[in-house]
């Protein structure tokens, strides 16, 4: 489908490491291409852990601002979307009016819990009088009410998911085991894997627990599983370029994050008809809505209770509603912003 084959879009981010933001930007590129835009991805670290076939990737590791400026002229870039302000503040060949900065996390908890007041000042400075795109209403409220940034404009646009690709990849293979609870996420403090293991132990279930992801806390989590006496039932599968067969065949997805802007695995799980139970990570409230919101849990006991209920009786999932809310059509909101320019 083509609507505009004259506009050139640059997507700028740190790298394409196996994290949610990388996947979001790759899907942005696919969606812009689908709607007839010429899309370029520029990264500043040569790390690519996703399939980027058919996408235009460029790496600038040195003299980044100058190289991006030259790239703007060479490729006749009309708009930039980035999750990184630092290297674009001094761009000369494109107005800041045509640059949109996406925010994919709830900054306040990480700043105030760890007393990172220098970061607080930095965020206020970076986003002052900028065009900001929050990936959920929770992020917007966090930025305006807690971080108290003063952007030129702030819009909420959900992350885009390539559901056709998810359908295809979910059928690539069948996991050897299909009697398991699944958690996907980097081994970091925010994902709260210790709570996950405590909940799993107290569930006292015959189901195994599969963990997909990697991170600096992985060994600590493995040792904690041993301490709880459940290491024989907890399977650490590492990072998976294609996690969708595991998502599709799981009995349930269990998430215990402290805070999430918009947890993608919950969206992917519901689309693949897998029940999702989650801690109240703020962003989850925009995914588990209506009859599903009762599976948002405030504490460990609620997580246990809701997991038991979900395994027995979960509401019927309408994947078309998920597709409408988080599919390629979301790109129309970006296009609308650009057309107004």
Please name every residue paired with 15 in a beta bridge, in sequence order, or none if there are none: none
Tokens describing residue 224: 């904690």
* Stretch among 109-113, 221-225, 258-262, 277-281 having the lowest mean pLDDT: 109-113
Per residue in 31-67, pLDDT (tens digit) is 999 999 999 999 999 999 999 999 999 999 999 999 9
Residue range 193-252, pLDDT digits in tens: 999 999 999 999 999 999 999 999 999 999 999 999 999 999 999 999 999 999 999 999
Residue 302's pLDDT is 98
Handedness of CA 315, 269, 258, 128 (dihedral sign): negative
pTM of the predicted protein model:
0.92
The answer to whether 201 and 176 are in contact (CB under 8 A) is no
**Residue 5 pLDDT exceeds 60:** no
Distance CA 10, CA 19 (A): 20
Q: Which domains does the chain have, with CATH numbers?
A: 8-161+327-340 (3.40.50.2000), 163-323 (3.40.50.2000)
Whether the per-residue pLDDT at 2 is higher than 50: the answer is no
- Tokens representing residue 108 in the block: 């306040």
Mark out the alpha helices in the chain (DSSP H runs). 20-34, 64-74, 107-113, 117-127, 137-141, 163-169, 193-203, 218-227, 244-249, 264-271, 300-312, 319-326, 331-340
CB 31, CB 1: distance < 8 Å:
no
Q: Does residue 253 carry a pLDDT above 90? A: yes
Mean pLDDT computed over every residue of the chain: 95
**Do residues 159 and 264 make contact, with C-beta atoms less than 8 angstroms apart?**
yes
pLDDT, residue 112, reads 81
């Amino acid at each position: 489908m083509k609507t505009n084959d004259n506009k050139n879009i640059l997507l700028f981010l740190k790298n394409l490491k196996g994290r949610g933001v990388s996947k979001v930007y790759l899907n942005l590129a696919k969606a812009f291409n689908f709607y007839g835009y010429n899309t370029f991805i520029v990264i500043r670290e040569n790390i690519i852990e996703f399939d980027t076939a058919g996408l235009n990737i460029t790496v600038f590791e040195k003299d980044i601002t100058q190289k991006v400026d030259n790239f703007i002229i060479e490729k006749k870039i009309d708009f930039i979307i980035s999750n990184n302000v630092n290297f674009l503040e001094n761009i000369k060949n494109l107005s800041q009016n045509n640059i949109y900065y996406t925010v994919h996390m709830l900054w306040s908890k990480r700043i105030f819990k760890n007393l990172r007041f220098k970061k607080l000042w930095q965020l206020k400075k970076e986003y002052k009088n900028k065009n900001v795109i929050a990936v959920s209403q929770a992020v917007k409220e966090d930025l305006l009410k807690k971080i108290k940034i003063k952007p030129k404009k702030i819009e909420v646009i959900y992350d885009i998911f390539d559901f056709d690709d998810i359908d295809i990849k979910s059928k690539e293979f069948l996991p050897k085991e299909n009697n398991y609870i699944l958690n996907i996420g980097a081994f970091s403090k925010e994902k709260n894997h210790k709570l996950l293991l405590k909940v799993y132990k107290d569930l006292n279930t015959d189901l195994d627990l599969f963990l997909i992801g990697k991170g600096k806390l992985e060994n600590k989590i493995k040792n904690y599983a041993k301490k709880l006496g459940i290491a024989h039932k907890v399977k650490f599968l590492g990072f998976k370029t294609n996690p969708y067969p595991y998502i599709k065949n799981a009995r349930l997805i269990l998430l215990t994050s402290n805070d999430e802007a918009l947890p993608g695995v919950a969206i992917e799980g519901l689309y693949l008809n897998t029940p999702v139970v989650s801690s109240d990570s703020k962003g989850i409230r925009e995914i588990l809505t209506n009859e599903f919101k009762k599976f948002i849990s405030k504490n460990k006991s609620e997580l246990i209770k809701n997991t038991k209920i979900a395994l027995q009786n979960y509401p019927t999932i309408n994947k078309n509603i998920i597709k409408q809310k988080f599919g390629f059509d979301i790109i129309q909101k970006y296009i609308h912003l650009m057309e107004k320019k």
